[in-house]
Chains A and B, each alone.
Chain A
């Protein structure tokens, strides 16, 4: 056999082996057998591929994957059979979670703007440049992060800002996606995050999706429900939405509503429960109180009302009136009322951006919780109101580490003196180090940055890590684009962006820092169901790309060297000192960063906070062994046990014996949850003669978030190449539009051109158009509204008035 033939034979054998392994893996998953993937078990056939676990990099579902590494490169990915979340399955983005690392234009060198060009600089110069900007005006510095920060990355940034610089101007992009869920949980239960978990999807009789499209956004979870139906189980799926989606196709009932119709629908259900006497009187009297907004002093506590007050407020919300307000037929409101009024059913509600990106986001979140509480559909497996998140650690890093401008780790807030003292104690920083005034929330931060200093724009420098505000902020022409306008008077402003690829944000950056991505670094994240997940670094980042956490610590140490008091603890030591064998390790030096496990050190420090609000985390070593654990994780009889269902006796270790249900963080200090009444209110902007269409924005299956990773994957980009306008066929006919025609879409804030897609994947009703936001060449957030919810400060990306005009065929 000659050499060429030998090579060819070997390649064929290898391909056959891979294919056989692929089939065996799928067979094992399809049959539900507990077999290990053969490719993992077969040492001789593995051909040098090393496998390790990691959560998927993309959304907030928290699927676990097995990552195959060969010769320092990720070459294969498999669903993790041992993961409870996904049970070996992945969505179509799983095809590419590994190849997202290998786009040709990875950032590999720090780049400093020099006029209209960039020049490569050393990391040393980059770190000094950031330190210079902070020293110049520490109070004008802001940190903008995300729900893609790992827990240690977010914790380090949080400590650096609030515990080091005494500066609370730190906020994450999660403000734009789930802040209203947070305020909804706080206003209802006095503590954030869902009581239920994904197990409810396996137990419920009815699944209601409120403005949510899990078939495309959380496909593995939706597949889990479809799988039940295929097995012959009866599960009723109900889609409440403003346009038909792939989710609608699988549902028995579709309730098409107008924007803000959800407020009316929730009130309509509550109205029927009371009118028909089908609310759960015993549950309500034992575990709930009633609240309404306090118009004179708006806050999350509102004002207490009686059951009779609540009943009177709901009186006008008859099914017919709800139909007028929401567009949903009265019979369908009655259907929901009957389902919630049936105590024998188990009902799970799911929601995500549709309820959160809403100028009454806090209200609708509390109202959906309220419907569950009023009907007693709470506290049993399958009976739960559960919000989903869009990013891998929106819960872990933003909500639990508290990287919001008003928060501290472990459910603490800066405005509370006791909370500040606790945090100062854990951080070993002098008393009074933490500022009591909340920093700027996202919209205010960017508005200040884009306002000239002499006009009151008091944010001078923003450091962005792990997100892309140049594409995701609303009303970009106000909140981001002025940075690129030479006549905007922003010459003294300085934008730093750490990222893995060039993005719409790096485009206007003054300093660009190349970051490590996913398994190029250690990490921990927290998914939508309170599950904390861990992974180890598996491959090196390209070029000079480095961990975001290292970048923060390196800047902190540069300031420490310069004598900045805030970078010292009470004993004069570096704020991020890590010791090994009793000696400090110079982790600020990249060569030594992995001499110790910095993640573990930061996590163990952070873990102290988690016990303050019954969100207990286990030691780091437990997460190394597990495919994630749902908090509170409490040690009992030598084992660390996770919690499936909060506030419910028999599940939650913090519920006292005999209580049944106990809302132990109740805002009224009486173990009760709050059932809120809020009136229906029209959206902040509604179509009129001038702007006759309602614009809704969102995501698509193929692309995650702003497409900075998934658009680099040629397969995904070919499958969904660019942004488009979805429009109803009758509206298209009225405007003489055919598929592919270009239209100008215009709002009061900006205009854009894009192609039309009629009868595409989603089907909006007449008067509504949809545009996805993944395509940076169709920057739809030039048009969106920056009005925010009064409590969560989250903008509404789902309801902006626009007009359209045909440009060309």
Chain B
């Protein structure tokens, strides 16, 4: 799956802090950073996920980076998604 997100930064009031956040984000696996917006608080990035479950995990890790206030999803391509499904008690009953 390929997705893109925008991270909104908060509490990054110096260039040193900003560079530290960017570095932390850059080191996340599967993540590619775009150019920060002119106002200096929104970072576009892509997540190129080898496994279907990595999107959520990566998003969680972005969210947990110090200085990141919020992560919003912009685009997702899920053509190659897993077709596993979740076991449910109601599903079993229908097939019993």
Task: Give chain A's interface residues, CB within 8 Å of chain B.
Answer: 15, 18-19, 21-23, 25-27, 29-32, 37, 39, 68, 70, 75-79, 88-92, 94-96, 98-99, 102-105, 107, 111, 116-118, 219-220, 222-223, 226-227, 229-231, 250, 470, 501-507, 512, 702, 711-712, 714-719, 776-777
Contacts and interface: CB of A to CB of B under 8 A. Distances in A.
Interface of B: 1-6, 8-10, 32, 34-39, 41-46, 48, 52-53, 55-57, 59-60, 69-79, 81-86, 88-91, 93-94, 96
A26 B45 contact: yes
A638 B8 CA distance: 40
B85 A714 contact: yes
A79 B91 contact: no
A512 B38 CA distance: 55
**Residue among B59, B81, B90, B93 facing the most chain A CB atoms (10 A cut-off):** B90
A635 B94 CA distance: 51
Contact of B78 (A88, A98, A231, A776): A98
**Residue among B48, B56, B93 facing the most chain A CB atoms (10 A cut-off):** B56
A652 to B, nearest CB: 32
A29 B56 contact: no
Nearest to B40: A230
A190 B43 CA distance: 46
User: What are the 3 tightest A-B residue pairs by CB atom distance, in nearest-first order?
Assistant: A26-B44, A26-B4, A22-B4
Nearest to A702: B56
Contacts of A75: 77-79
A94 B4 CA distance: 11
A250 B68 CA distance: 11
A76 B76 contact: yes
A26 B34 contact: yes
6 contacts: A21-B75, A23-B4, A107-B94, A226-B70, A507-B94, A714-B82
B76 A502 contact: no
Nearest to A103: B85
Given A26-B6, A27-B34, A714-B84, A506 B94 contact: yes
A719 B73 contact: no
Contact of B56 (A88, A89, A95, A503): A95
B13 to A, nearest CB: 10
Given A117-B96, A776-B88, A777-B89, A22 B3 contact: yes
Given A22-B75, A94-B73, A104 B44 contact: no
A105 B9 CA distance: 40
Nearest to A249: B69
Contacts of A18: 2, 77
B62 to A, nearest CB: 11
Contacts of B35: 27
Contact of A30 (B6, B69, B81, B96): B6
A14 B42 CA distance: 27
A51 to B, nearest CB: 11
B72 A220 contact: yes
Given A78-B76, A714-B53, 15 more contacts: A18-B2, A95-B78, A99-B81, A102-B83, A105-B94, A222-B70, A250-B69, A502-B94, A506-B90, A507-B90, A507-B93, A714-B52, A715-B53, A719-B56, A719-B57
A462 B88 CA distance: 24
A23 B59 CA distance: 15
A21 B5 CA distance: 12
Contacts of B94: 105, 107, 111, 118, 502, 506-507, 512
A230 B9 contact: yes
A708 to B, nearest CB: 8
A23 B37 contact: no
Contacts of B74: 22, 25-26, 29, 78-79, 88-90
Contacts of B77: 18, 22, 68, 75-76
B78 A90 contact: no
Contact of A31 (B37, B45, B76): B37
A99 B44 contact: no
B76 A95 contact: yes
A231 B46 contact: no
Contacts of A103: 85-86
A786 B72 CA distance: 37
A89 B88 contact: no
Contacts of B78: 75-77, 95-96, 98-99
A723 B71 CA distance: 24
Given A23-B4, A714-B82, A90 B57 contact: no
Given A226-B8, A226-B10, A714-B82, A89 B2 contact: no
A501 B89 CA distance: 12
A19 B80 CA distance: 14
Nearest to A106: B85
Nearest to B92: A502
Given A26-B5, A226-B8, A507-B93, A95 B53 contact: no
Nearest to B41: A230
Contacts of A79: 72-75
A27 B83 contact: no
B9 to A, nearest CB: 6
Contacts of A99: 78, 81
Nearest to A227: B8
Given A96-B78, A714-B52, A718-B53, A91 B72 contact: yes
B37 A30 contact: yes
Nearest to A39: B75
B94 to A, nearest CB: 4
